[in-house]
Structure 1
Amino acid sequence: MAVDFQRQIPASFERVQRNEYGYNAKQVDQFLQRARVSLESPKTAVHGIKSGDVRAVSFDPVKGGYSAAVVDAALDRLEDAFARRERDELIAAGGEEAWLREIGRLSGILRGRLHRPDGERFRRPAKNKTRSYNTLDVDNLCRDLIGYLEEDKPLSVDNVRRAVFRPAAGKDGYEESQVDAFLDRVVELMAAID
């Protein structure tokens, strides 16, 4: 199934001022070229890309690079396109029941953590000076996610992608890496559903 890459990604990105930091243009262009091949003709891709790869990609900051906000928005659309294709491939291979089982499995894993009590959803960093996320901010988003998953309350996948939490220090907050990994799975689920 071919997908129109140009509808997902513009031909070029705006750059920030020469004295400001943006994304390394060469790295962005190389990744997007790989993504184009993977999206438009996946059987010819040497190193295929999946939605999780788009979500996890990062680029070095350089002066005068591509605008991070513009590239990030394009990457969100690209991730959604890959997620739709992955969903369609799963349905084509195993039927809609296979897709629903996978959604149910992932949803069950996430709900287990979401239903933990406030202040206990994630690990606390082992060291006192380690950066962490404010527990109240993270717990608020978790309650919004419960509303989305169980009560059909509206929540955009972009709200989760762009979630920002106030910083905390050490045991006063949740461990950043664990929260980030959990939110990656939430985005994976939401992109597959929507």
Structure 2
Amino acid sequence: MFSRVGSLRKGYSVAEVDAFLEEARAAYEGDSTEVDANTVLEKVFKEERGGYSRVEVDTTLDRLIAAFVKRDRADFVNRNGQQAWLDFVAERAATLYPRLLAEAGQRFPSPKRGYPGYRRSEVDEFMNVISAFFNDGSDLTANDVRTVVFRSARGSKAYDEAVVDAYLNRVLEVMLAVE
């Protein structure tokens, strides 16, 4: 289904990707409720030499997330109406603004003492990109958000990884909900 990287390079675990996509297919077809858009957003695969191309798998995951969101949106609108959907998305989007409006260096908590986190300057720079997307319509794709990588840092030069990841998942959720 996906190209494999060379035997000296690392890609996503073939067995993990295949198993997860089979679960996702079953969930999408209604045979299971194990997988939804959030499950796909949070999925992390182990890496192995000669594994699947990360770019190809990530692109497929983005399409899969969009398919789940589109289906969920249609179900929600059928049950509650279009205006209720717009209100729901607006409410979710509003939760993003406090961190976007916060001063650089103060947007997220630091990691616990002794633990690494994401480099604050890089996260703040990406937050400016997100802000420009929501405020000015600047270019930003779901794939950009899903695949952004921040270098590691510690102490006052870092933000807590889990909090940043949760925030970026919410950004993706809102972006996909309005596509």
Give TM-score scaled by structure 1 length: 0.84
Q: CA, structure 1 residues 123+29, in 2 after alignment: closer, same or farther (shift >3 Å)?
A: same
CA contact (8 A) 1:126 1:171 kept: no
Q: Deviations over 1:119-169 (max 9, x none)?
A: 110001231x42122222211221222222223333222221122223222
Q: Distance in 2 between matches of 1:72 and 1:170?
A: 31
Partner of 1:32: 21
Q: Distance in 1 between matches of 2:100 and 2:2?
A: 37
Matched residue SS, 1:126: coil
CA contact (8 A) 2:62 2:142 kept: no
Q: Distance in 2 between matches of 1:19 and 1:165?
A: 24
Aligned pair 1:113/2:99, yes or no? yes
Q: Distance in 2 between matches of 1:164 and 1:15?
A: 22
Unaligned runs of 5+ in 2: none
Partner of 1:191: 176
Q: By how many angstroms is 1:86 displaced?
A: 1.3
- Which amino acid letter does the alignment assign opposite residue 71 of structure 1? V
Matches within 5 A, 1:51-62: 51-62=37-48
Aligned pair 1:176/2:165, yes or no? no
The range that moved more, 153-162 or 115-124, is: 153-162
Count of residues in correspondence between the two structures: 179
Matched residue SS, 2:96: helix
- Which amino acid letter does the alignment assign opposite residue 47 of structure 2? P
Give TM-score scaled by structure 2 length: 0.91
The range that moved more, 81-90 or 141-150, is: 141-150
- Which amino acid letter does the alignment assign opposite residue 158 of structure 2? G
Partner of 1:4: none
Q: CA, structure 1 residues 61+153, in 2 after alignment: closer, same or farther (shift >3 Å)?
A: closer
Q: Deviations over 1:82-113 (max 9, x none)?
A: 11111121111111111111111111111122
Q: Deviations over 1:16-43 (max 9, x none)?
A: 223432222222112111212222x22x
Aligned pair 1:85/2:61, yes or no? no
Matched residue SS, 1:132: strand
Matched residue SS, 2:111: coil
CA contact (8 A) 1:107 1:189 kept: yes
The alignment's C-alpha RMSD in Å is 1.7
Q: CA, structure 1 residues 14+182, in 2 after alignment: closer, same or farther (shift >3 Å)?
A: same
Unaligned runs of 5+ in 1: 1-11
Partner of 1:100: 86
Q: Distance in 1 between matches of 2:54 and 2:17?
A: 10
Q: Distance in 2 between matches of 1:179 and 1:72?
A: 19
- Equivalent pairs: percent with the same residue? 34
